[in-house]
């Protein structure tokens, strides 16, 4: 038996089996609910349950606080319906998504851009296509069946390796991590890896003219790079400021690329922010936390749209403080928090 799920205010409906999550059913049927980690760790899929009841699988309290749960908010990635359900989610997208596909990919090149960032170009099969929105991610399916998510750093129209259908990924090493230890240890050109995608709701909402704040920490730059390429390609001239934060200047591993884009796109500005520069870095730019730099420059964020990506702590701080202190509408904050196994197992 399938249960009916209605999403307000759009009125979109879909069916959900009692043993699947609301999010899995929505993705299966091409309904664009917001989400990122799909694992109860990031909170991107949080929305209000207006009617009906759900059973919640376990999740991180950081993703959904007790107070939020008490006032009827749920995580669609952890909620299985026990009756018909009505949800409120203003970020649901109207357009159908791209089909989610599994395909083999081959490592074309590996380029170390900083002490802990590898830029990987992956070749896609010649006889298949991967349609996606700039900003979305794919999952690697590892040999043991576990999955790791990485955002495409190129817009779909850009081929990182000219003449070859390919995607670019920016991977930060997390020492002790199952996948990134391999990337920085044994990964070689020509290695074959299975991917599935596209996934995610982190892409530019083009029905708005609101000025844009792009907030990246570390490799959170990757999907924003794709979005900037997409804006240039489509001639989108909404004012946009990219705040990119790292501990040391070298963490902003493609700042020359951003400077070049700013020269080509007069409506785009770049504010690099470094939190732990050493004297030998000779850093003379902005310092401190990257989300604080946004607040310093924009004490009033009402009327803006924010796209934030990268370390979960940065994304969470930005969401909390931009909405509480600078008047940003909660629905105008779009985010992909790069959660990992550590975030899923934190007490
Ligand atoms: C939507 C999304 C998009 C993403 N995009 C990107 C991207 O573009 N670029 C990028 O660099 N990353 C991205 N990530 C993060 C990425 O998916 C991986 O989580 C990250 O690369 C770590 O993978 P790993 O297998 O190396 O580490 P994991 O095996 O996940 O381990 C991560 C860390 O946790 C520790 N750990 C492992 N298991 C446990 C445990 N049980 N308890 C406590 N600690 C533990 C490990 O020692 C390690 O330090 C994204 C994540 C999401 C959710």
Q: At what angle do helices 290-297 and 312-326 cross, to 10 degrees?
A: 20
pLDDT at residue 345 in the model: 79
Q: Where in the chain is the domain with CATH 2.40.30.10?
A: 101-199
Query: Which band of pLDDT confidence, cut at 50, 70 and 90, is reported for residue 127?
Result: confident
Whether 95 has a pLDDT exceeding 60, the answer reads no
Please return the burial class of 133, using the count of CB atoms within 10 Å of its CB with bins 0-12, 13-18 and 19+. buried
Q: Whose CA is nearest to atom 53 of ligand 1?
A: 37
Mean per-residue pLDDT, 320-345:
94
- With a 6 A CB cut-off, is 148 part of the ligand 1 pocket? yes
pLDDT at residue 299 in the model: 97
- With a 6 A CB cut-off, is 171 part of the ligand 1 pocket? yes
- With a 6 A CB cut-off, is 177 part of the ligand 1 pocket? yes
Query: Which band of pLDDT confidence, cut at 50, 70 and 90, is reported for residue 94?
Result: low
Mean per-residue pLDDT, 296-303:
97
- With a 6 A CB cut-off, is 176 part of the ligand 1 pocket? yes
- With a 6 A CB cut-off, is 217 part of the ligand 1 pocket? no
**Gap from CA of 321 to ligand 1 centroid (Å):** 25
- With a 6 A CB cut-off, is 174 part of the ligand 1 pocket? yes
Atom of ligand 1 nearest to the CA of 182: 26
Q: Whose CA is nearest to atom 36 of ligand 1?
A: 342
- With a 6 A CB cut-off, is 172 part of the ligand 1 pocket? yes
Q: Quote the mean pLDDT of the chain.
A: 95
Q: Which of 118, 342, 343 to mutate to test the pocket of ligand 1 (most atoms within 8 A of CB)?
A: 342
Q: Where in the chain is the domain with CATH 3.10.20.30?
A: 3-94
CATH dotted code for 101-199: 2.40.30.10
Does this model's pTM top 0.85? yes
Mean per-residue pLDDT, 64-82:
95
Whether 200 has a pLDDT exceeding 80, the answer reads yes
pLDDT, one tens digit per residue, over 27-59 is 999 888 999 999 999 999 999 999 999 999 999
pLDDT at residue 6 in the model: 95
pLDDT at residue 92 in the model: 74
Mean per-residue pLDDT, 51-80:
94
pLDDT at residue 96 in the model: 63
Whether 245 has a pLDDT exceeding 60, the answer reads yes
Whether 244 has a pLDDT exceeding 60, the answer reads yes
- With a 6 A CB cut-off, is 60 part of the ligand 1 pocket? no
- With a 6 A CB cut-off, is 251 part of the ligand 1 pocket? no
Atom of ligand 1 nearest to the CA of 199: 1
Rounded distance between C-alpha atoms, residue 108 and residue 325, angstroms: 45
DSSP secondary structure letters along 80-125? EESS-EEEE-TT-BSS--PPPEEEEEEEEEEEEEETTEEEEEEEPP
Mean per-residue pLDDT, 321-334:
96
Q: Whose CA is nearest to atom 47 of ligand 1?
A: 176
Whether 262 has a pLDDT exceeding 90, the answer reads yes
Q: What's the fold here for domain 212-345? A: Rossmann fold (3.40.50)
Domain 3-94: state its class.
alpha beta
**Gap from CA of 147 to ligand 1 centroid (Å):** 10
Query: Which band of pLDDT confidence, cut at 50, 70 and 90, is reported for residue 344?
Result: confident
Residue 306 in tokens:
């924010």
pLDDT at residue 134 in the model: 97
Atom of ligand 1 nearest to the CA of 200: 1
Q: Where in the chain is the domain with CATH 3.40.50.80?
A: 212-345
């Amino acid at each position: 038996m399938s249960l009916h799920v209605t999403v307000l205010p759009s009125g979109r409906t879909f069916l959900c089996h009692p043993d699947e999550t609301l999010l899995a059913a929505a993705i299966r049927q091409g309904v664009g609910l917001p989400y990122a980690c799909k694992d109860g760790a990031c909170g991107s899929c949080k929305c209000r349950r207006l009617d009906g009841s759900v059973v919640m699988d376990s999740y991180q309290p950081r993703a959904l606080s007790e107070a939020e749960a008490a006032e009827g908010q749920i995580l669609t990635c952890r909620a299985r319906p026990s009756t018909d359900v009505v949800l409120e989610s203003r970020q649901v997208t109207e357009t159908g998504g791209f089909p989610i596909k599994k395909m083999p990919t081959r490592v074309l090149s590996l380029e170390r851009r900083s002490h802990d960032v590898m830029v990987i170009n992956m070749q896609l099969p010649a006889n298949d296509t991967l349609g996606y929105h700039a900003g979305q991610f794919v999952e690697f399916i590892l040999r043991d069946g576990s999955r790791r998510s990485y955002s495409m750093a190129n817009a779909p129209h850009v081929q990182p390796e000219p003449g070859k259908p390919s995607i670019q990924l920016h991977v930060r090493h997390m020492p002790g991590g199952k996948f990134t230890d391999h990337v920085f240890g044994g990964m070689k050109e020509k290695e074959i890896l299975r991917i599935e995608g596209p996934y995610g709701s982190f892409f530019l909402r083009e029905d708005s003219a609101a000025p844009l704040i792009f907030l990246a920490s570390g490799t959170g730059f990757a999907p924003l790079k794709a979005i900037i390429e997409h804006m240039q390609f489509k001639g989108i001239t909404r004012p946009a400021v990219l705040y990119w934060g790292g501990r040391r200047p070298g963490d902003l591993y493609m700042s020359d690329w951003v400077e070049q884009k700013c020269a080509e796109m007069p409506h785009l500005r770049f504010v690099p922010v470094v939190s732990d520069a050493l004297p030998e870095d000779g850093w003379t730019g902005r310092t401190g936390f990257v989300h604080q730099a946004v607040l310093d420059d924009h004490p009033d964020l009402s009327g803006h749209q924010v796209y934030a990506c990268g370390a979960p702590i940065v994304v969470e701080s930005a969401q909390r403080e931009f909405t509480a202190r600078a008047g940003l509408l909660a629905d105008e904050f779009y985010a992909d928090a790069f959660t990992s196994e550590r975030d899923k197992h934190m007490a």
